Amino acid sequence: MTGEPYRSYGYLTPGVDLPVFDLAPEFGRVPPYTDGLGAEDRSRAERLLRDTIVISLHDHPVRFPADMRQTPEYNRTGRQHTAFAGLAASGMTVVFDNMMDGTACVTGNAPWRWLDIITDLGMRQADIAHQDDVIVVRTLADIDHAHRTGKVGLVFGLEAATPIENEIDRLDVLYGLGLRQIGIAYSDANALGSGLNETTDGGLTDFGRRAIARMNRLGLAIDISHSSDRTGLDTCAVSERPVFMTHAGARAVWDTPRMKPDDVLRAVAETGGVIGMSAAPHTTLSHAHPRHSILSVMDHFRYCLDLVGIDHVAFGPDTLYGDHVGLHTVFGHLLKVGAAAPGGPPFEKVEYVDGLENPTENFANICGLLVREGFSDSEITAVLGGNILRALKQIWV
């Protein structure tokens, strides 16, 4: 051991055991956000970030190639590189990490294959096992341990249950391999229900209802971020445990299919669940801030807070280390996450979301804005992680 900070897959020899890629930096890819905080507010924000269990409900804390066009080749290695240094500086206690997800094309040109997902899940944990600063979270006790010891915990999840196909026992396999959160469907429909881009919204299937019952029994947190509106409502009606919307926003603020209508937002809250505010480029825009930034995202936060109450809102920024706009370009045919539906509101494209560009900066800037806008310590603690922790106590076995 050299005593140097661990770099992802440092137990392998670059160029021999794995290909070498020029990866995006963990710091300084874009100019820092200017928050305008005074000294007193900054001190308070730093204290809150330090003392609070901070949970991101959805992020991808991994480094992508500096040239995002190399991502398909990079992902075919089966190894995304965890941003260990970036996580250490993030102030986060726990990150819900959904791995390659819709870009998991390890063995082919389409995502969501079972073997690809298992490869992704195993490779990431093999890497994490070779260092001590980041841990895999499977229980509430793991979250407490991460907070007490200053480590960062990763909760592995999937944005869609598509890889289980029609084999319900695969949910048990995924749980046994460490998965603790799973979505119902992504943009396309699957055996469980409709995704948000389907022309006909069929809602949950009968298999989907049985799958949700198994998820409840296992202790798998359920996510409806990319599910259709009907599927989301059906899921909330069927689930006996709180439901998450890990990364989304309000359609009343920005009228596109990727955002959620009031009835779905309310349904999540009525289960005891939590809505995480997303910051994926060109999604959570607002008419007050049509140039996507942290201010646009906070418009969605405030709307959801007024709609469902402070106990049911949090943040799932959906950021990564690299050119997220470029990622959407490379994988647009698979991800289908564009903000501009036919007849949707006009907006100005950005190169990055100012203030929420990567997992390192997200929560420092979020906490700073919450302080600046006059939220109390207890309110800030709740939305930074307390609400999610309360729901997990009812979900995880």
Q: What is the tens place of the pLDDT at every residue in 340-360?
A: 444 578 899 999 999 999 999
pLDDT at residue number 330? 86
pLDDT > 70: what percent of the chain? 96
Evaluate if residue 339 carries a pLDDT over 80.
no
- Does the pLDDT at position 286 exceed 50? yes
Mean pLDDT, residues 160-172 taken together:
97
**What percentage of the chain exceeds 90 in pLDDT?**
89
- Rounded to a whole number of angstroms, the distance between the first and last alpha carbons of the chain is 38
Mean pLDDT of the chain: 95
Q: Which of 313, 301, 309 is nearest to 356 (CA)?
A: 301
| DSSP calls for 255-281 | -STTSB-HHHHHHHHHTT-EEEEP--T
Average pLDDT over residues 328-347: 67
- pTM score of the predicted model: 0.96
Interval 217-254: pLDDT, tens: 999 999 999 999 999 999 999 999 999 999 999 999 99
The predicted pLDDT at position 334 comes to 61
Cα-flanking dihedrals φ and ψ of residue 246, to 5°?
A: -70, -30
For residues 8-31, average pLDDT: 96
Count of residues in the chain: 397
CA dihedral 339→274→264→225, nearest 10 degrees, is 40
CB contact set of 274 (below 8 Å; sequence gap of 6+): 57, 242, 244, 245, 268, 312, 313, 314, 387, 388, 391
| pLDDT of 338 higher than 60 | no
- In this model, does residue 333 exceed pLDDT 70? no
Q: What integer pLDDT is reported at residue 336 of this predicted model?
A: 59
Q: Which residue has the higher pLDDT, 148 or 5?
A: 148
> Among 104-113, 143-152, 344-353, which stretch is predicted with the lowest mean pLDDT?
104-113
pLDDT of 2 higher than 60: no
Residue 129 has pLDDT above 90, yes or no: yes
What is the model's pLDDT at position 187?
Answer: 85
Q: How confident is the model at residue 4 (pLDDT cuts 50, 70, 90)?
A: confident
